[in-house]
Amino acid sequence: MIGVDDSLAPAEAGFHGQLRFSLRFIALLPSPRLLPFSRSRPTLVKPKNEKDVTGQLWVGGSADHDELNCQGSWAGSALSLLGAAAEGMSLPDWSFRDETSDKNLHETCDNGTNDRAGTWMTYCKQCLEKQRKIDELKEEIVQLKAKLRYQERTAQEGFFGSSTPSSKVPVKPGRPVGEPRPQGGGQVGHPGHGRSRIDPEQADRVERIAVGDVCPDCGSPLQAKGDKARTVLDCQPVRIQKVVYWLGRKRCPKCGRLFTARPPGVLPKCLYSNQLLAYAAVEHYVYGRTLGQIEKLTGIGYSSLVEALHQLSKRLKEVPQALIQAYRQAPVKHADETGWRMEGRNGYAWLFCTPDLSIYRFRRTRSGSVAREVFGDQPLPGVLVVDRYNGYNRMPCSLQYCYAHLLRDVEDLEKEFPENAEIHDFVEALAPQLANAIRLRGLGLSTRQFKREAAKIKGQILQIVNHPARHPALQTMQDLFRQKTDRLYHWADDPQVPAENNRAERELRPLVIARKISFGSQSDAGARTCEILMTVLLTLAIQLIVICTSPHP
Protein backbone atom coordinates (compact mmCIF):
# COMPACT_ATOMS: atom_id res chain seq x y z
CA MET A 1 0.00 0.00 0.00
CA ILE A 2 1.16 3.54 -0.69
CA GLY A 3 0.70 6.52 1.55
CA VAL A 4 -1.60 9.01 -0.18
CA ASP A 5 -3.04 12.21 1.17
CA ASP A 6 -6.83 12.03 0.96
CA SER A 7 -6.91 15.78 0.42
CA LEU A 8 -5.47 15.27 -3.09
CA ALA A 9 -8.70 13.67 -4.28
CA PRO A 10 -11.85 15.68 -5.00
CA ALA A 11 -13.82 15.98 -1.80
CA GLU A 12 -17.16 15.56 -3.54
CA ALA A 13 -16.07 12.21 -4.98
CA GLY A 14 -16.72 10.42 -1.69
CA PHE A 15 -14.63 7.78 0.00
CA HIS A 16 -14.55 5.25 -2.84
CA GLY A 17 -13.95 7.95 -5.42
CA GLN A 18 -11.03 9.26 -3.38
CA LEU A 19 -9.61 5.78 -3.09
CA ARG A 20 -9.83 5.15 -6.82
CA PHE A 21 -8.23 8.52 -7.47
CA SER A 22 -5.37 7.68 -5.12
CA LEU A 23 -4.73 4.29 -6.71
CA ARG A 24 -4.71 5.72 -10.23
CA PHE A 25 -2.38 8.49 -9.11
CA ILE A 26 0.00 5.90 -7.64
CA ALA A 27 0.22 4.10 -11.00
CA LEU A 28 1.60 7.27 -12.63
CA LEU A 29 4.58 7.49 -10.27
CA PRO A 30 7.93 6.41 -11.73
CA SER A 31 8.90 4.54 -8.54
CA PRO A 32 7.05 3.71 -5.32
CA ARG A 33 10.01 5.08 -3.35
CA LEU A 34 9.57 8.59 -4.80
CA LEU A 35 6.65 10.50 -3.33
CA PRO A 36 7.07 14.13 -4.42
CA PHE A 37 3.79 15.30 -2.94
CA SER A 38 4.20 14.04 0.63
CA ARG A 39 6.77 13.05 3.22
CA SER A 40 4.50 10.29 4.41
CA ARG A 41 5.20 6.60 3.94
CA PRO A 42 2.81 3.66 3.64
CA THR A 43 1.98 1.65 6.72
CA LEU A 44 1.40 -2.05 6.18
CA VAL A 45 -0.49 -4.02 8.79
CA LYS A 46 0.48 -7.70 8.63
CA PRO A 47 -1.98 -10.40 9.75
CA LYS A 48 -1.39 -11.67 13.26
CA ASN A 49 -1.20 -15.23 11.95
CA GLU A 50 0.54 -16.01 8.64
CA LYS A 51 -2.08 -18.68 8.01
CA ASP A 52 -4.91 -16.22 8.23
CA VAL A 53 -6.98 -15.95 5.08
CA THR A 54 -7.47 -12.20 5.31
CA GLY A 55 -5.16 -9.27 5.85
CA GLN A 56 -5.43 -5.49 6.24
CA LEU A 57 -3.80 -2.57 4.48
CA TRP A 58 -3.78 0.97 5.80
CA VAL A 59 -4.45 3.64 3.17
CA GLY A 60 -3.42 6.88 4.75
CA GLY A 61 -0.40 8.68 6.13
CA SER A 62 2.02 8.64 8.99
CA ALA A 63 4.19 11.74 9.23
CA ASP A 64 7.95 12.29 9.07
CA HIS A 65 8.89 9.15 7.16
CA ASP A 66 10.49 9.15 3.74
CA GLU A 67 10.97 5.52 2.75
CA LEU A 68 8.72 2.67 1.82
CA ASN A 69 7.92 0.28 4.68
CA CYS A 70 7.60 -3.11 2.97
CA GLN A 71 7.95 -6.27 5.04
CA GLY A 72 8.96 -9.19 2.84
CA SER A 73 7.20 -10.67 -0.14
CA TRP A 74 3.83 -10.39 1.56
CA ALA A 75 4.02 -6.62 1.49
CA GLY A 76 5.39 -6.62 -2.07
CA SER A 77 2.46 -8.72 -3.20
CA ALA A 78 0.03 -6.28 -1.68
CA LEU A 79 1.70 -3.37 -3.40
CA SER A 80 1.68 -5.28 -6.70
CA LEU A 81 -2.04 -5.82 -6.33
CA LEU A 82 -2.62 -2.14 -5.65
CA GLY A 83 -0.68 -1.27 -8.81
CA ALA A 84 -2.74 -3.73 -10.81
CA ALA A 85 -5.91 -2.21 -9.46
CA ALA A 86 -4.69 1.24 -10.40
CA GLU A 87 -4.28 0.09 -14.00
CA GLY A 88 -7.92 -0.85 -14.21
CA MET A 89 -7.73 -4.51 -13.13
CA SER A 90 -10.35 -5.91 -10.81
CA LEU A 91 -9.78 -5.96 -7.03
CA PRO A 92 -10.71 -9.47 -5.82
CA ASP A 93 -12.82 -9.65 -2.70
CA TRP A 94 -11.91 -6.32 -1.18
CA SER A 95 -13.90 -4.91 1.69
CA PHE A 96 -13.54 -1.37 3.02
CA ARG A 97 -14.24 0.13 6.40
CA ASP A 98 -13.79 3.78 7.25
CA GLU A 99 -11.61 4.25 10.32
CA THR A 100 -11.16 8.00 10.16
CA SER A 101 -12.73 8.39 13.62
CA ASP A 102 -10.60 5.70 15.27
CA LYS A 103 -8.86 7.27 18.25
CA ASN A 104 -5.91 4.89 18.12
CA LEU A 105 -5.20 5.87 14.54
CA HIS A 106 -5.21 9.54 15.40
CA GLU A 107 -2.69 8.87 18.12
CA THR A 108 -0.16 7.67 15.51
CA CYS A 109 0.10 11.18 14.05
CA ASP A 110 2.77 13.50 15.36
CA ASN A 111 0.53 16.52 15.72
CA GLY A 112 -2.49 14.69 17.05
CA THR A 113 -4.73 16.02 14.31
CA ASN A 114 -6.79 13.95 11.93
CA ASP A 115 -5.40 15.45 8.69
CA ARG A 116 -3.36 12.27 8.18
CA ALA A 117 -6.24 9.88 8.73
CA GLY A 118 -6.75 7.08 6.27
CA THR A 119 -8.71 3.91 5.60
CA TRP A 120 -8.27 0.20 6.32
CA MET A 121 -8.68 -2.23 3.44
CA THR A 122 -9.29 -5.90 4.21
CA TYR A 123 -8.45 -8.42 1.47
CA CYS A 124 -8.45 -12.16 0.76
CA LYS A 125 -4.95 -13.62 0.77
CA GLN A 126 -5.86 -16.49 -1.57
CA CYS A 127 -7.32 -14.04 -4.07
CA LEU A 128 -4.12 -12.04 -3.86
CA GLU A 129 -2.07 -15.10 -4.76
CA LYS A 130 -4.42 -15.85 -7.65
CA GLN A 131 -4.04 -12.31 -8.92
CA ARG A 132 -0.25 -12.58 -8.76
CA LYS A 133 -0.39 -15.81 -10.75
CA ILE A 134 -2.67 -14.20 -13.33
CA ASP A 135 -0.22 -11.32 -13.72
CA GLU A 136 2.68 -13.74 -14.22
CA LEU A 137 0.76 -15.72 -16.84
CA LYS A 138 -0.23 -12.56 -18.71
CA GLU A 139 3.39 -11.45 -18.81
CA GLU A 140 4.43 -14.87 -20.06
CA ILE A 141 1.78 -14.69 -22.79
CA VAL A 142 3.16 -11.34 -23.95
CA GLN A 143 6.69 -12.78 -24.13
CA LEU A 144 5.54 -15.90 -25.98
CA LYS A 145 3.62 -13.81 -28.51
CA ALA A 146 6.73 -11.72 -29.20
CA LYS A 147 8.79 -14.88 -29.62
CA LEU A 148 6.19 -16.37 -31.97
CA ARG A 149 6.14 -13.20 -34.10
CA TYR A 150 9.93 -13.36 -34.40
CA GLN A 151 9.85 -17.01 -35.46
CA GLU A 152 7.12 -16.33 -38.01
CA ARG A 153 9.09 -13.42 -39.49
CA THR A 154 12.26 -15.52 -39.59
CA ALA A 155 10.43 -18.34 -41.36
CA GLN A 156 8.94 -15.92 -43.89
CA GLU A 157 11.71 -13.34 -44.40
CA GLY A 158 14.85 -15.32 -43.47
CA PHE A 159 17.34 -15.19 -40.63
CA PHE A 160 18.17 -11.51 -41.12
CA GLY A 161 14.53 -10.37 -41.34
CA SER A 162 13.92 -7.69 -43.94
CA SER A 163 17.71 -7.45 -44.50
CA THR A 164 17.85 -11.03 -45.82
CA PRO A 165 19.03 -11.16 -49.47
CA SER A 166 16.30 -12.15 -51.88
CA SER A 167 18.20 -15.29 -52.85
CA LYS A 168 18.05 -16.55 -49.24
CA VAL A 169 14.39 -15.80 -48.50
CA PRO A 170 12.84 -19.18 -47.56
CA VAL A 171 9.37 -18.49 -48.96
CA LYS A 172 8.80 -15.91 -51.67
CA PRO A 173 5.24 -14.62 -51.96
CA GLY A 174 3.40 -15.33 -55.17
CA ARG A 175 1.08 -13.08 -57.08
CA PRO A 176 -2.19 -12.46 -55.18
CA VAL A 177 -5.26 -14.25 -56.45
CA GLY A 178 -7.17 -12.14 -58.96
CA GLU A 179 -4.27 -9.83 -59.75
CA PRO A 180 -3.67 -9.70 -63.54
CA ARG A 181 -0.43 -11.09 -64.87
CA PRO A 182 2.03 -8.30 -65.74
CA GLN A 183 2.51 -7.72 -69.44
CA GLY A 184 5.93 -8.32 -70.92
CA GLY A 185 7.93 -5.88 -72.98
CA GLY A 186 8.94 -2.32 -72.32
CA GLN A 187 6.95 0.20 -70.34
CA VAL A 188 4.43 2.45 -72.02
CA GLY A 189 6.24 5.30 -73.73
CA HIS A 190 9.62 3.54 -73.66
CA PRO A 191 11.49 3.83 -77.00
CA GLY A 192 11.60 0.55 -78.86
CA HIS A 193 14.67 -1.43 -79.88
CA GLY A 194 13.25 -3.53 -82.70
CA ARG A 195 15.06 -5.09 -85.60
CA SER A 196 16.71 -2.54 -87.85
CA ARG A 197 18.68 -2.73 -91.08
CA ILE A 198 22.41 -2.15 -91.23
CA ASP A 199 23.83 0.15 -93.86
CA PRO A 200 26.16 -1.77 -96.23
CA GLU A 201 28.90 0.75 -95.53
CA GLN A 202 28.75 -0.14 -91.80
CA ALA A 203 28.71 -3.90 -92.34
CA ASP A 204 31.81 -5.96 -91.65
CA ARG A 205 31.17 -8.12 -94.69
CA VAL A 206 28.86 -7.78 -97.71
CA GLU A 207 28.09 -10.83 -99.81
CA ARG A 208 25.93 -11.20 -102.92
CA ILE A 209 24.02 -14.48 -103.28
CA ALA A 210 22.69 -15.35 -106.74
CA VAL A 211 19.49 -17.21 -107.66
CA GLY A 212 19.37 -19.97 -110.28
CA ASP A 213 18.23 -19.19 -113.85
CA VAL A 214 15.50 -21.90 -114.04
CA CYS A 215 12.34 -22.25 -111.92
CA PRO A 216 12.80 -25.32 -109.68
CA ASP A 217 9.05 -26.07 -109.86
CA CYS A 218 8.18 -25.87 -113.58
CA GLY A 219 11.56 -25.47 -115.30
CA SER A 220 10.72 -22.09 -116.94
CA PRO A 221 13.46 -19.43 -117.20
CA LEU A 222 13.47 -16.82 -114.39
CA GLN A 223 13.39 -13.03 -114.94
CA ALA A 224 15.66 -10.69 -112.95
CA LYS A 225 13.89 -8.54 -110.30
CA GLY A 226 16.83 -6.80 -108.66
CA ASP A 227 18.27 -7.47 -105.20
CA LYS A 228 16.81 -7.55 -101.68
CA ALA A 229 18.95 -6.69 -98.67
CA ARG A 230 18.85 -8.85 -95.55
CA THR A 231 20.76 -8.14 -92.33
CA VAL A 232 22.27 -11.02 -90.34
CA LEU A 233 24.33 -10.87 -87.15
CA ASP A 234 26.99 -13.56 -86.96
CA CYS A 235 29.82 -14.48 -84.61
CA GLN A 236 32.87 -16.65 -84.62
CA PRO A 237 33.34 -19.21 -81.81
CA VAL A 238 36.30 -18.78 -79.50
CA ARG A 239 39.21 -20.56 -81.10
CA ILE A 240 42.75 -20.49 -79.90
CA GLN A 241 45.25 -19.74 -82.64
CA LYS A 242 48.71 -21.16 -82.29
CA VAL A 243 51.15 -18.64 -83.68
CA VAL A 244 54.86 -19.11 -84.30
CA TYR A 245 56.96 -15.94 -84.63
CA TRP A 246 60.40 -16.09 -86.19
CA LEU A 247 62.16 -13.28 -84.37
CA GLY A 248 64.97 -11.61 -86.23
CA ARG A 249 68.26 -11.16 -84.41
CA LYS A 250 71.08 -8.72 -85.11
CA ARG A 251 74.33 -7.85 -83.37
CA CYS A 252 76.04 -4.47 -83.16
CA PRO A 253 79.63 -4.85 -84.49
CA LYS A 254 80.87 -1.95 -82.41
CA CYS A 255 79.48 -2.65 -78.90
CA GLY A 256 78.67 -6.32 -79.41
CA ARG A 257 75.07 -6.13 -78.16
CA LEU A 258 72.53 -8.59 -79.56
CA PHE A 259 69.08 -7.32 -80.49
CA THR A 260 65.99 -9.56 -80.94
CA ALA A 261 62.68 -8.49 -82.49
CA ARG A 262 59.65 -8.37 -80.15
CA PRO A 263 56.39 -10.13 -81.05
CA PRO A 264 53.38 -7.78 -81.13
CA GLY A 265 50.83 -7.87 -78.29
CA VAL A 266 52.74 -10.23 -75.97
CA LEU A 267 54.26 -9.55 -72.55
CA PRO A 268 57.90 -10.57 -72.02
CA LYS A 269 58.35 -14.26 -71.18
CA CYS A 270 54.58 -14.85 -71.42
CA LEU A 271 53.07 -17.71 -73.40
CA TYR A 272 49.69 -16.04 -73.82
CA SER A 273 48.96 -12.93 -75.88
CA ASN A 274 47.56 -9.79 -74.31
CA GLN A 275 44.27 -10.33 -76.10
CA LEU A 276 43.92 -13.83 -74.67
CA LEU A 277 44.75 -12.61 -71.15
CA ALA A 278 42.25 -9.78 -71.47
CA TYR A 279 39.59 -12.18 -72.72
CA ALA A 280 40.10 -14.59 -69.80
CA ALA A 281 40.19 -11.79 -67.20
CA VAL A 282 37.06 -10.06 -68.51
CA GLU A 283 35.12 -13.30 -68.77
CA HIS A 284 36.07 -14.28 -65.23
CA TYR A 285 35.96 -11.01 -63.28
CA VAL A 286 33.38 -9.01 -65.24
CA TYR A 287 30.97 -11.59 -66.64
CA GLY A 288 31.40 -14.18 -63.90
CA ARG A 289 32.51 -17.21 -65.92
CA THR A 290 34.37 -19.77 -63.87
CA LEU A 291 37.95 -20.69 -64.70
CA GLY A 292 36.72 -24.20 -65.43
CA GLN A 293 34.41 -22.90 -68.14
CA ILE A 294 37.18 -20.74 -69.59
CA GLU A 295 39.42 -23.80 -69.59
CA LYS A 296 36.88 -25.66 -71.74
CA LEU A 297 36.48 -22.73 -74.12
CA THR A 298 40.19 -22.04 -74.62
CA GLY A 299 41.84 -25.36 -73.97
CA ILE A 300 44.24 -23.74 -71.48
CA GLY A 301 44.75 -25.60 -68.22
CA TYR A 302 43.24 -24.34 -64.97
CA SER A 303 46.59 -23.84 -63.23
CA SER A 304 48.00 -22.04 -66.26
CA LEU A 305 45.06 -19.61 -66.22
CA VAL A 306 45.57 -18.92 -62.51
CA GLU A 307 49.26 -18.21 -62.97
CA ALA A 308 48.59 -16.00 -66.01
CA LEU A 309 46.08 -13.89 -64.05
CA HIS A 310 48.55 -13.54 -61.18
CA GLN A 311 51.15 -12.23 -63.61
CA LEU A 312 48.67 -9.81 -65.13
CA SER A 313 47.70 -8.40 -61.73
CA LYS A 314 51.34 -7.76 -60.83
CA ARG A 315 51.71 -5.57 -63.90
CA LEU A 316 48.59 -3.57 -62.98
CA LYS A 317 49.20 -3.25 -59.22
CA GLU A 318 49.88 0.52 -59.39
CA VAL A 319 46.58 1.36 -61.09
CA PRO A 320 44.30 1.06 -57.99
CA GLN A 321 46.38 3.63 -56.09
CA ALA A 322 45.84 6.17 -58.87
CA LEU A 323 42.10 5.44 -58.77
CA ILE A 324 42.09 5.99 -55.00
CA GLN A 325 43.41 9.52 -55.51
CA ALA A 326 40.58 10.22 -57.96
CA TYR A 327 38.06 8.69 -55.54
CA ARG A 328 39.11 10.97 -52.70
CA GLN A 329 38.40 14.09 -54.76
CA ALA A 330 35.01 12.97 -56.06
CA PRO A 331 32.04 15.14 -54.95
CA VAL A 332 29.88 12.07 -54.24
CA LYS A 333 31.35 8.82 -52.94
CA HIS A 334 29.76 5.49 -52.09
CA ALA A 335 31.01 2.64 -49.90
CA ASP A 336 29.71 -0.73 -48.78
CA GLU A 337 30.98 -4.14 -47.70
CA THR A 338 29.90 -7.77 -47.78
CA GLY A 339 31.19 -11.14 -46.65
CA TRP A 340 34.01 -12.86 -48.56
CA ARG A 341 35.79 -15.99 -47.38
CA MET A 342 39.58 -16.32 -47.75
CA GLU A 343 41.40 -19.61 -47.22
CA GLY A 344 38.25 -21.07 -45.70
CA ARG A 345 37.93 -18.30 -43.10
CA ASN A 346 35.44 -15.48 -42.88
CA GLY A 347 36.54 -12.19 -44.37
CA TYR A 348 35.06 -9.12 -46.05
CA ALA A 349 34.99 -7.51 -49.46
CA TRP A 350 34.91 -3.71 -49.45
CA LEU A 351 33.69 -1.51 -52.29
CA PHE A 352 34.44 2.19 -52.77
CA CYS A 353 32.84 3.63 -55.88
CA THR A 354 31.72 6.75 -57.71
CA PRO A 355 29.80 7.11 -60.99
CA ASP A 356 33.17 6.79 -62.79
CA LEU A 357 35.15 4.11 -60.92
CA SER A 358 35.03 1.14 -58.57
CA ILE A 359 37.70 0.15 -56.04
CA TYR A 360 37.69 -3.25 -54.30
CA ARG A 361 39.48 -4.38 -51.17
CA PHE A 362 39.56 -7.92 -49.73
CA ARG A 363 40.51 -8.13 -46.07
CA ARG A 364 40.02 -10.48 -43.13
CA THR A 365 38.62 -7.69 -40.97
CA ARG A 366 35.66 -5.32 -41.05
CA SER A 367 37.29 -2.65 -38.93
CA GLY A 368 37.48 0.97 -39.95
CA SER A 369 41.20 0.61 -40.70
CA VAL A 370 40.32 -0.76 -44.14
CA ALA A 371 38.33 2.35 -44.99
CA ARG A 372 41.11 4.57 -43.67
CA GLU A 373 43.52 2.96 -46.17
CA VAL A 374 41.36 4.43 -48.92
CA PHE A 375 40.34 7.76 -47.38
CA GLY A 376 43.55 8.67 -45.60
CA ASP A 377 43.73 11.18 -42.74
CA GLN A 378 43.44 14.53 -44.51
CA PRO A 379 40.04 16.28 -44.84
CA LEU A 380 38.36 15.47 -48.15
CA PRO A 381 35.72 17.28 -50.21
CA GLY A 382 32.37 15.78 -51.09
CA VAL A 383 29.87 13.51 -49.34
CA LEU A 384 30.19 9.80 -48.57
CA VAL A 385 26.92 7.83 -48.86
CA VAL A 386 26.89 4.77 -46.60
CA ASP A 387 24.69 2.70 -44.36
CA ARG A 388 25.01 3.27 -40.62
CA TYR A 389 28.02 0.98 -40.11
CA ASN A 390 30.33 2.51 -37.50
CA GLY A 391 33.46 1.78 -39.55
CA TYR A 392 32.77 4.89 -41.67
CA ASN A 393 32.00 7.31 -38.83
CA ARG A 394 35.55 8.68 -38.56
CA MET A 395 36.17 9.19 -42.24
CA PRO A 396 37.50 12.70 -43.07
CA CYS A 397 34.46 13.81 -45.08
CA SER A 398 30.74 14.43 -44.67
CA LEU A 399 28.44 11.41 -44.36
CA GLN A 400 24.99 10.75 -45.77
CA TYR A 401 23.08 7.81 -44.30
CA CYS A 402 21.17 5.59 -46.70
CA TYR A 403 17.41 6.20 -46.51
CA ALA A 404 16.66 2.75 -47.93
CA HIS A 405 18.13 1.20 -44.78
CA LEU A 406 16.26 3.70 -42.60
CA LEU A 407 13.00 2.95 -44.39
CA ARG A 408 13.48 -0.76 -43.84
CA ASP A 409 14.18 -0.24 -40.13
CA VAL A 410 11.10 1.97 -39.75
CA GLU A 411 8.88 -0.61 -41.44
CA ASP A 412 10.34 -3.32 -39.19
CA LEU A 413 8.95 -1.48 -36.17
CA GLU A 414 5.40 -2.20 -37.29
CA LYS A 415 6.27 -5.83 -37.98
CA GLU A 416 7.74 -6.19 -34.50
CA PHE A 417 4.86 -4.46 -32.72
CA PRO A 418 1.84 -5.04 -34.96
CA GLU A 419 -0.74 -4.28 -32.28
CA ASN A 420 0.67 -0.95 -31.12
CA ALA A 421 -1.36 1.96 -32.48
CA GLU A 422 1.32 4.56 -31.73
CA ILE A 423 3.93 2.68 -33.76
CA HIS A 424 1.44 2.13 -36.58
CA ASP A 425 0.73 5.87 -36.81
CA PHE A 426 4.46 6.68 -36.69
CA VAL A 427 5.30 4.27 -39.51
CA GLU A 428 2.34 5.43 -41.61
CA ALA A 429 3.57 9.02 -41.31
CA LEU A 430 7.36 8.59 -41.69
CA ALA A 431 7.72 5.77 -44.24
CA PRO A 432 6.11 7.69 -47.17
CA GLN A 433 8.36 10.70 -46.54
CA LEU A 434 11.50 8.55 -46.60
CA ALA A 435 10.30 6.96 -49.84
CA ASN A 436 9.62 10.40 -51.33
CA ALA A 437 13.17 11.49 -50.48
CA ILE A 438 14.55 8.42 -52.28
CA ARG A 439 12.47 9.00 -55.42
CA LEU A 440 12.96 12.77 -55.63
CA ARG A 441 16.17 12.70 -57.73
CA GLY A 442 14.50 10.57 -60.40
CA LEU A 443 11.68 13.03 -61.13
CA GLY A 444 13.74 15.16 -63.49
CA LEU A 445 13.09 18.42 -61.62
CA SER A 446 15.09 21.59 -62.05
CA THR A 447 17.48 22.57 -59.27
CA ARG A 448 15.06 25.16 -57.92
CA GLN A 449 12.10 22.78 -57.95
CA PHE A 450 14.20 20.03 -56.41
CA LYS A 451 15.31 22.17 -53.47
CA ARG A 452 11.76 23.38 -52.88
CA GLU A 453 10.37 19.84 -52.76
CA ALA A 454 13.34 18.60 -50.72
CA ALA A 455 12.75 21.31 -48.12
CA LYS A 456 9.12 20.23 -47.77
CA ILE A 457 10.04 16.57 -47.31
CA LYS A 458 12.79 17.43 -44.84
CA GLY A 459 10.43 19.64 -42.81
CA GLN A 460 7.82 16.88 -42.61
CA ILE A 461 10.43 14.35 -41.51
CA LEU A 462 11.67 16.68 -38.77
CA GLN A 463 8.13 17.31 -37.58
CA ILE A 464 7.42 13.58 -37.31
CA VAL A 465 10.63 12.61 -35.51
CA ASN A 466 10.38 15.53 -33.05
CA HIS A 467 6.85 14.62 -31.99
CA PRO A 468 6.88 13.19 -28.41
CA ALA A 469 6.64 9.40 -28.29
CA ARG A 470 6.02 7.02 -25.40
CA HIS A 471 7.09 3.66 -26.83
CA PRO A 472 10.82 2.91 -26.25
CA ALA A 473 11.28 1.62 -29.81
CA LEU A 474 9.95 4.89 -31.24
CA GLN A 475 12.14 6.91 -28.89
CA THR A 476 15.21 5.00 -30.11
CA MET A 477 14.34 5.67 -33.74
CA GLN A 478 13.63 9.34 -33.03
CA ASP A 479 16.94 9.69 -31.18
CA LEU A 480 18.72 8.51 -34.32
CA PHE A 481 17.16 11.29 -36.40
CA ARG A 482 17.76 13.91 -33.69
CA GLN A 483 21.37 13.03 -32.87
CA LYS A 484 22.57 12.39 -36.45
CA THR A 485 21.07 15.41 -38.16
CA ASP A 486 24.39 16.26 -39.81
CA ARG A 487 24.36 12.86 -41.56
CA LEU A 488 20.79 12.72 -42.80
CA TYR A 489 19.96 15.74 -44.98
CA HIS A 490 22.81 16.36 -47.45
CA TRP A 491 20.51 15.05 -50.19
CA ALA A 492 18.20 18.02 -49.58
CA ASP A 493 20.99 20.55 -50.11
CA ASP A 494 22.65 19.09 -53.23
CA PRO A 495 20.75 17.27 -56.01
CA GLN A 496 23.92 15.31 -56.85
CA VAL A 497 23.86 13.57 -53.47
CA PRO A 498 21.44 10.62 -53.47
CA ALA A 499 19.39 9.72 -50.41
CA GLU A 500 20.20 6.03 -50.88
CA ASN A 501 23.27 3.86 -51.45
CA ASN A 502 21.85 2.03 -54.43
CA ARG A 503 24.94 2.52 -56.59
CA ALA A 504 27.15 0.61 -54.15
CA GLU A 505 24.55 -2.15 -53.89
CA ARG A 506 24.50 -2.55 -57.68
CA GLU A 507 28.29 -2.48 -57.99
CA LEU A 508 28.56 -5.24 -55.39
CA ARG A 509 26.24 -7.53 -57.33
CA PRO A 510 28.94 -9.09 -59.61
CA LEU A 511 31.00 -9.80 -56.51
CA VAL A 512 28.08 -11.46 -54.75
CA ILE A 513 27.45 -13.66 -57.79
CA ALA A 514 31.14 -14.60 -57.87
CA ARG A 515 30.95 -15.49 -54.17
CA LYS A 516 28.11 -17.91 -54.84
CA ILE A 517 30.15 -19.66 -57.53
CA SER A 518 33.67 -19.60 -56.11
CA PHE A 519 32.96 -19.47 -52.34
CA GLY A 520 35.60 -16.77 -51.97
CA SER A 521 39.36 -16.75 -52.49
CA GLN A 522 41.50 -19.82 -51.86
CA SER A 523 44.58 -17.81 -50.86
CA ASP A 524 45.74 -14.32 -49.98
CA ALA A 525 47.46 -14.09 -53.36
CA GLY A 526 44.16 -14.94 -55.07
CA ALA A 527 42.36 -12.25 -53.07
CA ARG A 528 45.04 -9.71 -54.02
CA THR A 529 44.78 -10.63 -57.70
CA CYS A 530 41.00 -10.45 -57.51
CA GLU A 531 40.92 -6.95 -55.98
CA ILE A 532 43.41 -5.54 -58.52
CA LEU A 533 41.81 -7.00 -61.62
CA MET A 534 38.23 -6.30 -60.50
CA THR A 535 39.18 -2.70 -59.71
CA VAL A 536 40.80 -2.17 -63.11
CA LEU A 537 38.36 -4.11 -65.30
CA LEU A 538 35.11 -2.91 -63.71
CA THR A 539 36.34 0.68 -63.78
CA LEU A 540 37.14 0.23 -67.48
CA ALA A 541 33.65 -1.20 -68.01
CA ILE A 542 32.12 1.89 -66.37
CA GLN A 543 34.31 4.21 -68.41
CA LEU A 544 33.40 2.37 -71.61
CA ILE A 545 29.70 2.79 -70.85
CA VAL A 546 30.24 6.48 -70.16
CA ILE A 547 32.12 6.92 -73.44
CA CYS A 548 29.51 5.01 -75.44
CA THR A 549 26.53 6.86 -73.92
CA SER A 550 28.01 10.37 -73.91
CA PRO A 551 26.78 12.62 -76.74
CA HIS A 552 29.25 13.12 -79.56
CA PRO A 553 30.25 16.72 -80.39
Rounded to an integer, what distance in angstroms lies between the CA atom of residue 491 and that of residue 439? 11
Give yes or no for residue 416 having a pLDDT over 90. Answer: no
Give the pLDDT confidence of 309-320 residue by residue, as tens digits.
998 999 899 999
Give yes or no for residue 232 having a pLDDT over 90. Answer: no
pLDDT band at 510; cut points 50, 70, 90: confident
Phi then psi dihedrals of residue 386, to 5 deg: -145, 170
Is residue 420 domain-resident? yes
Give yes or no for residue 44 having a pLDDT over 70. Answer: no
Which three-class secondary structure string do you get for 160-220? CHHHCCHHHCCCCCCCCCCCCCCCCCCCCCCCCCCCCCCCHHHCCCCCCCCCCCECCCCCC
Q: Rg for the chain (alpha carbons), in Å?
A: 39
| Domain final residue pick, 134, 150, 180 | 134
Give the pLDDT confidence of 450-484 residue by residue, as tens digits.
999 999 999 999 999 999 989 998 999 999 999 99
Give yes or no for residue 17 having a pLDDT over 70. Answer: no
pLDDT band at 543; cut points 50, 70, 90: confident
pLDDT value at residue 256: 86
pLDDT band at 55; cut points 50, 70, 90: low
pLDDT band at 516; cut points 50, 70, 90: confident
Host domain of residue 102: 6-134
Is residue 184 domain-resident? no
Number of structural domains the chain divides into: 2
Say which residue, 173 or 279, is predicted with more confidence. Answer: 279
Rounded to an integer, what distance in angstroms lies between the CA atom of residue 104 and that of residue 523? 88
Is residue 292 domain-resident? no
Is residue 378 domain-resident? yes
| Domain final residue pick, 112, 134, 156 | 134
Rounded to an integer, what distance in angstroms lies between the CA atom of residue 484 and that of residue 392? 14
Give yes or no for residue 271 having a pLDDT over 70. Answer: yes
Rounded to an integer, what distance in angstroms lies between the CA atom of residue 461 and that of residue 492? 12
3-state secondary structure of 287: coil
Give yes or no for residue 384 having a pLDDT over 90. Answer: yes
Phi then psi dihedrals of residue 322, to 5 deg: -65, -35
Is residue 347 domain-resident? yes
Q: How far is CA 106 from CA 2, 40, 90, 102, 103, in A?
A: 18, 15, 31, 7, 5
Percent of the chain with pLDDT over 70: 73
pLDDT value at residue 41: 38
pLDDT value at residue 240: 85
pLDDT value at residue 122: 62
Pair 458, 489: CB distance under 8 Å: yes
Is residue 146 domain-resident? no
Rounded to an integer, what distance in angstroms lies between the CA atom of residue 331 and that of residue 318? 23
| Domain final residue pick, 75, 99, 134 | 134
pLDDT value at residue 230: 86
Is residue 168 domain-resident? no
Give yes or no for residue 6 having a pLDDT over 70. Answer: no
Say which residue, 332 or 169, is predicted with more confidence. Answer: 332
Is residue 177 domain-resident? no
User: What mean pLDDT comes out for the span 126-133?
Assistant: 86
pLDDT band at 121; cut points 50, 70, 90: low
User: What mean pLDDT comes out for the span 14-35?
Assistant: 40
* Average pLDDT over all residues of the chain: 76
pLDDT value at residue 544: 81
User: What mean pLDDT comes out for the span 122-145?
Assistant: 84
pLDDT band at 549; cut points 50, 70, 90: very low
pLDDT value at residue 459: 93
Say which residue, 163 or 286, is predicted with more confidence. Answer: 286
pLDDT value at residue 158: 66
User: What mean pLDDT comes out for the span 60-77?
Assistant: 38
User: What mean pLDDT comes out for the span 146-161?
Assistant: 73
Sign of the Cα pseudo-torsion (537, 541, 547, 550, in order)? negative
